[in-house]
Structure 1
Amino acid sequence: METSQVQDYLLYLGLNDTRQRSSLGLSVAAASPATVRQADVLEDTSLATFDQIWVYTRSTFAEQTTPAIQVVSDASTVLTVNFTDEDLDEGELGGKIAFDVASGDTSQVVIFAAYGADSEDGRGYRFALGTVQLGTWSLDVSPELSVQNFSHLLLYARSSLFEQTTPAIIELTDVNASVSGTSFTDLDLDSEELGGLVSWILPYNMAQVENYNVYLTDGLGTNRSQINGPLPATADSIVLPPNTPRQQYTSLAPCHD
């Protein structure tokens, strides 16, 4: 067909060695001034069983019988992801997201994007945790991130145009290594002086605890004074020396490192 008779170009998904095709709903006008004509295929277009793109020339009278054919290479990337909470306070997260490509093609990947989400499909509330370039296989999550709205961590590969629809998913586990049941009886009978045994109950999960420090603190926890230490992770008590000035302190706080 002479180009002077061309009205537009139509695009289809096609199956090799068959006449099966499915319209992409795309047409490019022949009157376009561009030397190289192009059309954008919508994000998340289902490939189904098709393996080619067929381009037909159409005049005002008829559609071309034999199309131009482009074999489709589906850029699929499957990721694996791991995260260990290193913020040992209850209700808070922090640590390193580590990931790798389990299979697939990364030639079109530009960045990886991580999100916290309230569901495993990411269709509800989600919060961006950060992005890294291809070739960087970890992402740091700052400590003290509240887990109130999060139940899952999602990791997506992203090309220059689109973000992957199906992410790598892990369910978040909040590690809590805070002690409980802190008790203290003052055995120093002098006014405004303290002394005696401070004790506490160790947490169930101590895998990441290196040591404990015990502090005298004020009501807000802004002013504090350390009692000896640091203590080994297995310690569940410490002696507050007699004659310790009470000053502005009102509380005792065993804290993990």
Structure 2
Amino acid sequence: DGPLLRRLASVQYQLTFCRRTYLDDAPAGATQIGIPAETDTGGFTHFLLYASSALAEQSTPSFLRFDDLRSRVASLSFVDLDLDAGELGGTISWRAVFDKHLIASYNIYLATSYEGDGRELQLTSTELSTLLPPETSLRHFTHLVIYAASELAEQTTPVALLLSDVQATVANVSLPDYDLDEHEIGGSLVWDEPSNTEQVTHYIVYFADYNLTNGSDIRAYFQNVSVGNDSLTVQPDTPLINFANVVPRTTHVAIYTLSPLVEQSTPATHVIVDAFATVSGTLFVDKDLDEEEIGGRMAWQLPAQLEKVIQYNVYFAESADGLNRHLTNYNISIVMSSDGDAGASGADDEGYLDIPPDTALQSFSHLLVYTSSMLVEQSTPDSFIISDTAATVQNISFPDEDLDLGDLGGVLEWVEPEDASQVTHYMVYLAELSGDPGVDINISNGKVLVAVISGSFSFALVGATVLQLQEYNLNMLGLGLKFFCCCPVFLFL
């Protein structure tokens, strides 16, 4: 056995030296040399180390077998959770294979090819995953590449992944305002969902001021809804001024998509158009001449924009802001001199309402006109202070100068009311007292004598009988008023 082993050893020894190539040398006293990274093995399996004198190199070297180790990553994955176009963000993960105990770190780059061309370092990690921060600019890069690195060097052949930039922004945002008060909004906010909602969890809505001159936009959170919804309700009376005590003046509504990682940084926006439709110039002149009663025509100028006004509501109230208001049930008429279908009113377009005479004023002090849309009645009306017209004559007297029984003759006199601006006639009646003189006299329609034009303060009865006066009255009825005093001052005959 001994000669055979010696022969095998001799053969193996000869094979070891059958092919070699010079690598490096070191001076006497040295105990190590460095092998540069990426040194090509050339198919060799051993290092040979020869001592050398001034005369010759030894013929029997010391040797060391080396193993060409492989360390790389596999199963590289990345899902972009930054929902803005041209921006990346999300978790990068991978597996280590082969000689992973030699890996000191992993270097992650953005590159322009699978081979890592034009790469730019983004992250270094010692773990098997790391977070690529949101809003990382994609720029011209097309690939994500990862290199395993030892303490000596980074590998030259990376593992690569083609990038897919996820974009998810809502479109066609709309918010028609049906709150007809100025600086308030109400209606249905609608939008089209993104075509790709796989990474979207919610839609976040803000009110914002994007018209600031200093270039610093201000926004305030309004509401959010889950993906799958394409609308939400903005309640009436939502303020556009100082919204949430943050936004001085709201100009836009902004909708951001939200992923599990982050809210997008560039929203879809919509310019808010504040619908303002209120009447103006409300006027009412009381033509019921009794105290504590009113009657007459109430009129107002129509709003400039009419397209969202569906009706007008008129109230009696105890203040200009609607204290203890009471809705009237009278018919409202609209007079249009312009083309109302165009959505705008003209200067002569008006609405009016006829309040019947004998309407009790009660404790009301104001008349209020509200516009109303399909959504809600406005909260701030146009108001008018009621002025109750009272016009009763005073000091009525009549000395009868006809001495025949059953006949009257003489001058009926009175003092005009202090405010006679709404008086056009004085209606003179003959009446019969029934009951207590302190109780109102009942006047029959058949007892009207005559209408005396306003400005007069006397009426002469010249030897006329009651029957003659009644016949004369029938010829004078054309002078009657629409409204007249129904609580007269009377004289006992």
2:309: which partner in 1? 209
Q: TM-score if structure 1 supplies the norm length? A: 0.90
| 2:235 alignment partner, one of 121, 142, 160 | 142
How far apart, in 2, do the equivalents of 1:118 and 1:12 lie? Answer: 39
* Matching residue's letter, 2:191: F
* Aligned pairs for 1:122-137 within 5 A: 124-137=217-230
* Matching residue's letter, 2:145: W
Q: TM-score if structure 2 supplies the norm length? A: 0.48
How far apart, in 1, do the equivalents of 2:195 and 2:229 lie? Answer: 17
CA spacing shift, 1:209–1:181, aligned 2, 3 Å: same
CA spacing shift, 1:229–1:134, aligned 2, 3 Å: farther
Bigger share in strand? 1
Report if aligned partners of 2:333, 2:352 keep a CA contact under 8 Å in 1. Answer: no
Report if aligned partners of 1:129, 1:141 keep a CA contact under 8 Å in 2. Answer: no
Q: 1:119-167: per-residue Cα shift (whole Å, max 9, x none)? A: 1699532122211111111111111011112011111111111111111
Once the 2 structures are TM-superposed, how far is the Cα of residue 54 of structure 1 from its aligned partner?
A: 1.1
How far apart, in 2, do the equivalents of 1:62 and 1:188 lie? Answer: 104
1:28: which partner in 2? 125
How far apart, in 2, do the equivalents of 1:164 and 1:213 lie? Answer: 45
Are 1:89 and 2:190 counterparts?
no
CA spacing shift, 1:140–1:120, aligned 2, 3 Å: farther
| 1:110 alignment partner, one of 192, 195, 201 | 201
| 2:288 alignment partner, one of 181, 188, 193 | 188
Report which stretch shifted further, 197-206 or 222-231.
Answer: 222-231
How far apart, in 2, do the equivalents of 1:131 and 1:78 lie? Answer: 15
* Aligned pairs for 1:3-22 within 5 A: 3-16=100-113, 19-22=117-120
Are 1:63 and 2:154 counterparts?
yes
Once the 2 structures are TM-superposed, how far is the Cα of residue 68 of structure 1 from its aligned partner?
A: 1.5
1:223: which partner in 2? 324
Aligned residues: 249
How far apart, in 2, do the equivalents of 1:48 and 1:152 lie? Answer: 29
SS at match of 1:177: coil
Report which stretch shifted further, 14-23 or 139-148.
Answer: 14-23
1:179: which partner in 2? 279
* Matching residue's letter, 1:117: A
| 2:365 alignment partner, one of 247, 250, 253 | 250
Gaps of 5+ in 1: none
Report if aligned partners of 1:210, 1:233 keep a CA contact under 8 Å in 2. Answer: no
How far apart, in 1, do the equivalents of 2:331 and 2:119 lie? Answer: 71
Report if aligned partners of 2:296, 2:356 keep a CA contact under 8 Å in 1. Answer: yes
* Matching residue's letter, 1:255: Y
Q: Between Structure 1 and Structure 2, whose CA radius of gyration is higher?
A: 2
SS at match of 1:49: coil
Once the 2 structures are TM-superposed, how far is the Cα of residue 104 of structure 1 from its aligned partner?
A: 5.0
How far apart, in 2, do the equivalents of 1:214 and 1:252 lie? Answer: 7
Of structures 1 and 2, the one with the larger relative CO (CA 8 A, separation 6+) is 1
* Matching residue's letter, 2:119: R
CA spacing shift, 1:132–1:233, aligned 2, 3 Å: farther
Bigger share in helix? 2
SS at match of 2:129: coil
SS at match of 2:101: helix
RMSD: 2.1
Q: 1:19-78: per-residue Cα shift (whole Å, max 9, x none)? A: 111222x2221xx4xxxx211111111101112111111111111211111221111124
